[in-house]
Chain A
Amino acid sequence: MAEPESETRPGAEARLLRHVRRLGEARSGLRALHFHLSRLQRHHRRDKHLQIVANMLDELARPFAGKLFQLGSGDIVVICKGARRKTLEEAIAIIRYLFGDDPLTQHDDGAALCSLFDLEHDYDRFLALVEGLRAGEARQRTAPPARGAAQRPQRRPLDPEHLGHILGIVNRADLSSVVRRQTIWSLPAGAEAQPLFDEVFVSIEELGQALAPEYHLGNDRWLFQYLTQALDRRVLWMLARDYPVARHSLSLNVNVATLLSPEFSDFEEHLPVRARGNILLELQLADIWSDFGAYLFAENLAKQHGYRLLLDGVRFRSLPYIDAHRLGVDYLKLVWDDALLGLDRDGALEFREALDRAAPIRVILMRCDRAEAVQFGQKAGISLFQGWHTDRFARS
């Protein structure tokens, strides 16, 4: 079943292959770069690195109508027109510099890190490579999962004692180095992208890497909730004292308990009153259900004070069973899931009905890290998106 499915849900490899085949005879001035990022050491293959390289190559290739493909393995292929060989070698040197300590970059002038193809002469060789990449990706997709997971180093479960130690640091620390922002874009089909608001959040993975790399922070739901509450409060404290001059609205991740805490009152006291209308509060469904009475109280309070509410992290299979209107939220974030591309007719109908029922609550499709997610969302009538692909697409 996997191969026919791949025709309707093409990954980057399939799109790359289609693109390369379409080039046909019009190959004059075309050059391709294949960055073998999958061969880097594991700690250089984190999402952060792959994203930095993708953004940099995007930036460097833009003057040459560059087309960038981020493959499932982590490798990146860029095809550009009119770029001189020397310019591309400089781009390779910059990426090589970033990974200067990796064994992959220390020999052969970077040839092991990146292969460069002049498509006027090397087209057949490059096409064979791309066909190989496509076939490899198809095999990977049909292979039994979780081999990668088994290779991950074992981390110890977080215990209350160590959580206390982490909280001690969190409460003293300036968390600005682990606070991230990601834009939510309005991206209706055929229209220009417009930023709607920025989500401000603490990257738990990065915080864990910095403070407790040997622990798995999310293994215990209650300890994790306690940690996120402490982080919420710390971020509020920081924002209250250094509220950013934002171009557009901000959203903050909060627990219900945080909204009712003295720290939230302190945040409000320091916040310019006008800013409240520009703040969205993101809440998780599990947190809402854990004390629904407290949520209703907090929702009422938040609305009275002029904030907008957002229901975060809804899975598409749960969407038909959630009455977002009763929760009084203004926005709902739906998590992208590749399974959406494989819905049968009844499943697709149920999904569309659930979306229709959610109106006029605005639905944001989150974790859109591939073009197909945005295309699917737009076809389903969704116009708000969040994710790497959306960032890259909107900014270009």
Chain B
Amino acid sequence: MSGAPGLEGKTVMIVDDDQTMRMLIRRMLARMKIANLLEAEGGEQALKQLQGARSACDLIISDWNMPGMSGIEFYNRIHAIKPDLPFLMLTGRSDAGSVIAAKKAGIPAYIVKPISPEELKTKISFLLTKSA
């Protein structure tokens, strides 16, 4: 997959307790020429990393179901500090209740697993364009 315009040079943080999922997303992002990646196993670790990060993060891709802090709680925490930071919720939850909960929480974009590289790319491009 060729890099989408405007994605090169962006910094993306992947937050997921599943190492394999992080690896799959990392591979997909690499195909989009996104090489600046931050990774965390959970919300707490992600918050610490973001506070200590030297360069700004342009987008967060986070799982919903994680031990400790859930994806929604993580979004609420990050939104309170950085309200304009694009956030993509990546989840296996496809029931109406979960989608309604995510929408109500204000999560800007939602993607149901399993994901395709095309789908991920358009969600990312959409979020980054919207925040530009």
Contacts and interface: CB of A to CB of B under 8 A. Distances in A.
B96 A60 contact: yes
Main secondary structure of the interface of B (DSSP, over half): helix
Given A174-B20, A210-B115, A211-B24, A97 B110 contact: yes
B114 A94 contact: no
Interface in B66-107: 92, 94-96, 99-100, 102-103
B109 interface: yes
Interface in A30-62: 41-44, 46, 48-49, 52, 55-56, 59-60
- Chain B interface: which size bin? 20 to 34
Nearest to A209: B116
Contacts of B112: 48-49, 52, 98
Nearest to A41: B122
Contacts of B102: 97
Interface string A299-339: 00000000000000000000000000000000000000000
Contacts of B115: 209-210
A100 B86 CA distance: 14
B131 interface: no
Given A55-B94, A209-B117, A177 B18 contact: yes
A43 B95 CA distance: 20
Given A41-B122, A174-B19, A210-B24, A56 B99 contact: yes
Interface in A79-123: 93-94, 97-98, 100-102
A94 B96 contact: yes
Contacts of A46: 116
Task: Name the interface size band of chain A.
Answer: 20 to 34
Contacts of A210: 24, 28, 114-116
Given A101-B125, A173-B20, A176-B18, A48 B96 contact: no
Interface of B: 1, 18-21, 23-24, 27-28, 92, 94-96, 99-100, 102-103, 108-110, 112-119, 122-123, 125-127
Interface of A: 41-44, 46, 48-49, 52, 55-56, 59-60, 93-94, 97-98, 100-102, 169, 172-178, 203, 206, 209-211, 213-214
